[in-house]
Amino acid sequence: MARVFVITGPSGVGKGTLIRGLMERLPDLELSVSATTREPRAGERDGVDYHFLSRDEFDRRVAAGDFVEHADYAGRSYGTLRSELEDRVAAGVPVVLEIEVQGARQVRAAMPEAVQVFIAPPSLPALRTRLVGRGTDDAAEVERRLQVAEQELAAQPEFGHVVVNDRLDDALEQLTTVVSDELD
Ligand code: ADP
Ligand code: 5GP
């Protein structure tokens, strides 16, 4: 039975927004809190939005084998800690991972039973509009993320499920259907 759900896709496509909606609709799901070396954004809380780690601490935990997957993205490191998954998987609690494409590939190799969903934008200009509109990243960071997005979009055919996030309500409906079908 599927118990690990990987939601991937370019930054700004709406992964976080969709996952919030998904978790309201399917309250048994729990979200894995990732670790990162990036600075917290305004309002982000340590241990809630991310485990914010120093570079040394992140590298130490990589060397200790604490991560299920980890990857560099736009100059920072991000990873899923085993401690976020192991107890939940053992207890049969369904877990959602919101991660970028390189990490999704590592999870696919380590846990082929995990369900992988790629969230795609309706177009690159729409993605740019969302990244700029979110207001969390300066212009240089937006450009870095859009450059990575072009490579990430090329990886779309690798994924078993693709949801185009054009109209939010439609995309949320599709994502909820994919996840609830796999949970049944
Ligand atoms: P991600 O988690 O993939 O980086 P976010 O969930 O932060 O993306 O969404 C990026 C921005 O796009 C947010 O400002 C969000 O409100 C907006 N957004 C999300 N989905 C849609 C949509 N379907 N149409 C228009 N804007 C959207
Ligand atoms: P942000 O800085 O916008 O929070 O995240 C940047 C990118 O890192 C997003 O694509 C997000 O999905 C991804 N990300 C967040 N957590 C993880 C993680 O644990 N592992 C990997 N590989 N990517 C992650």
* Confidence (pLDDT) at 172: 98
**CA 97 to CA 139: how far, in whole Å?**
27
* Confidence (pLDDT) at 184: 84
The answer on pLDDT for 135 being more than 60 is: yes
- Which ligand 2 atom lies nearest to the CA of residue 38? 2
Dihedral (CA of 102, 108, 110, 111) sign:
positive
From start to end of the chain, where are the E strands? 4-8, 30-31, 35-36, 51-52, 67-73, 76-81, 95-98, 115-120, 161-164
Mean pLDDT across 109-121? 97
The answer on pLDDT for 1 being more than 60 is: no
pLDDT averaged over the chain? 96
Distance from the alpha carbon of residue 133 to the mean position of ligand 1, in angstroms: 9
The 10s digit of each residue's pLDDT in 147-159 is 999 999 999 999 9
- Band (pLDDT 50/70/90 cuts) for residue 107 is very high
* Cβ contact 10:161 at 8 Å: no
Residue ranges around ligand 1 (CB below 6 Å)? 11-17, 130, 133-134, 165, 168, 171
The answer on pLDDT for 69 being more than 80 is: yes
Mean pLDDT across 167-183? 97
The 10s digit of each residue's pLDDT in 46-63 is 999 999 999 999 999 999
Helical packing angle, 15-25 and 168-183, nearest 10°: 50
Residue 32: name the closest of 102, 136, 104, 113 by CA.
104
Distance from the alpha carbon of residue 78 to the mean position of ligand 2, in angstroms: 6
Mean pLDDT across 137-156? 96
